[in-house]
Structure 1
Amino acid sequence: MHDLARSAFDNRPGLHVATEGEFAGWRTWLRDSYESHTGPFWHRMEDDGSIRCAFRVEKKHLNGAGNVHGGCLMTFADYCLFAFAAPILQGPGVTVSFASEFLDAAREGELVEATGEVTRAGASLIFLRGMLKSGTRPLFSFSGTIKRVKRRTPETVSSP
């Protein structure tokens, strides 16, 4: 199963692999212009099959108090849901629920990392949870549900 998960993880549409810098070998998706503008956010599969996500805090991620904006953490966590689900998603999906708790602040220059897991994967819904940290300091806990969606073909789209 690990090889199948690795293959599914490596073959998601719009995937870009960094070839240099701090995140060389990490992956990101280029298909979501909002995430690309807000990030860059990165993910990789560890040797044990778990998924790790990360981003380096830049000035553009900060709120007026000099901490990472809550909306940025929420956007990153949503990105993480899809990274955690990538080995099993097998197609497009949408977030249908998202819950979070702010635990601590992050500042410019810090590395924010996320780990998480799929808690249940059904035929149409995938349930996940995760934690954002800076070093060993917990910043943000989250959970969410992704709905698998079928791609619409011209024959399945109704006319008004």
Structure 2
Amino acid sequence: MTERAVAAKLKSDGWSLVEATGFIQLVGPIWERLVDGDYEYALHTQDKHHNRRGLVQGGVLMTFADRTCGMTARYVTGRQTMATIQLDVHFVEAGQIGELLISRPRVVRSTRSLIFIRTEVMVDHRCIAMANGVFKILKGE
């Protein structure tokens, strides 16, 4: 399926593009939608995401998990500036190029200065990575 066809399908399923600059723009496009009050995110893997074995590069999975957890932290707190202070990622299964990655981050705990979030990166009903992140809410923002 071409990237144009994938984009059309995602749009018809209620997804919208996430605006991105810098490094994330190189990784994406990343898509988002609101389902029952919670955000979920999608990344269609392309040839640019492959490792030497032709599978989805682990760094792509880590970046996707970090970005989606961070975006969720911003939505939940209403604060725009945060910093990832810890991200633990467990690779469960290989992702294939051409698959659609889905992340549905959930808040585990939130304090005045930290927010703890977890997500699973899924392809259909297969978990290919799990991540737990801690995000610092920056002062003065």
Q: TM-score, normalised by structure 1?
A: 0.76
Q: Is the 8 A contact 1:120 1:128 kept in 2?
A: yes
**Aligned residue among 117, 120, 123 for 1:134:** 123
**Aligned residue among 19, 22, 27 for 1:29:** 19
**Aligned residue among 31, 41, 44 for 1:53:** 41
Of 33-42 and 52-61, the range deviating more from structure 2: 33-42
Which ranges of structure 2 fall in alignment gaps of 5 or more residues? 1-6
Partner SS for 2:90: strand
Name the amino acid aligned to 1:21.
Answer: A
- Report the equivalent of 1:68: 56
Query: Is residue 2:92 matched to residue 1:99?
Result: no
Rg (Cα) greater in structure: 1
Q: Distance in 2 between matches of 1:151 and 1:22?
A: 40
Q: Distance in 2 between matches of 1:29 and 1:118?
A: 23
Which ranges of structure 1 fall in alignment gaps of 5 or more residues? 1-19, 153-160
Offset of 1:44 from its aligned partner?
1.8
Moved over 6 A (4+): none
- Report the equivalent of 1:87: 75
Name the amino acid aligned to 1:87.
Answer: Y
The 1:44–1:61 alpha-carbon spacing in structure 2 relative to 1, beyond 3 Å, is same
Q: TM-score, normalised by structure 2?
A: 0.86
Q: Is the 8 A contact 2:74 2:82 kept in 1?
A: no
What root-mean-square deviation, in Å, do the aligned CA atoms of Structure 1 and Structure 2 show? 1.6
